[in-house]
Amino acid sequence: MRSDLVDLTVRLHHETNRAVLVSTDGDREKAVWIPKSACEIEPDAGQATHTLSLPERVAVEKGLV
């Protein structure tokens, strides 16, 4: 069985109870909101970045890949 999840390195700009505002290049102007129900986000140890895991379809729709 093939998993459709992708892991992306992102910059977390803002977080609410229901969503995260992230970008792949650190530019807040290009950041997109991702519902927490559609992803998992974990900080990268010792880095200013986070690893975002989400379905590939959502990543494409949001322009992250």
Q: Is residue 65 part of a domain?
A: no
Q: Model confidence over 7-59: pLDDT tens digits?
A: 999 999 999 999 999 999 999 999 999 999 999 999 999 999 999 999 999 99
In CATH, what number is assigned to the domain containing residue 53?
A: 2.30.30
How many distinct structural domains can be found in the chain? 1
SS3 state of residue 19: strand
Which range of residues forms the domain containing residue 33?
5-60
Q: Is residue 46 part of a domain?
A: yes
Q: Is residue 24 part of a domain?
A: yes
Q: Model confidence over 51-61: pLDDT tens digits?
A: 999 999 999 99
Report which DSSP code applies to 63.
Answer: T
What's the confidence (pLDDT) of residue 1?
A: 53
Report which DSSP code applies to 44.
Answer: P
Q: Is residue 49 part of a domain?
A: yes
